[in-house]
Amino acid sequence: MAKASPSFYGIGCLLLSLLLLAHSAPESAVVTQIPGFSGTLPSKHYAGYAY
């Protein structure tokens, strides 16, 4: 049986940490109206900034 390379474990740890640290936008940040646009938005848009 072939051994997994150290880079394989590094990539696995990176993906696992990204999965555990990812946060979704809160529902309070959903944009429902945009000035000058009448009607419903075609998809969900969120207000805020990336940090």
Q: Residue 43: inside a domain, yes or no?
A: yes
Determine, yes or no, domain membership for 35. Answer: yes
By the 8 A CB rule, do 44 and 30 touch? yes
DSSP 19: H
pLDDT band for 2, please (50, 70, 90 cuts).
low
Q: What is the pTM of this model?
A: 0.45
Identify the domain containing residue 43 by its residue range: 25-51
Q: Is residue 2 part of a domain?
A: no
Question: In the beta sheet, which residues pair with residue 45?
Answer: 31
13 pLDDT higher than 80: yes
First to last CA, the chain: 43
The total number of structural domains that make up the chain = 1
User: Is 19 within the bounds of a domain?
Assistant: no
Q: In this structure, are residues 48 and 25 in contact, taking their beta carbons and an 8 Å threshold? A: yes
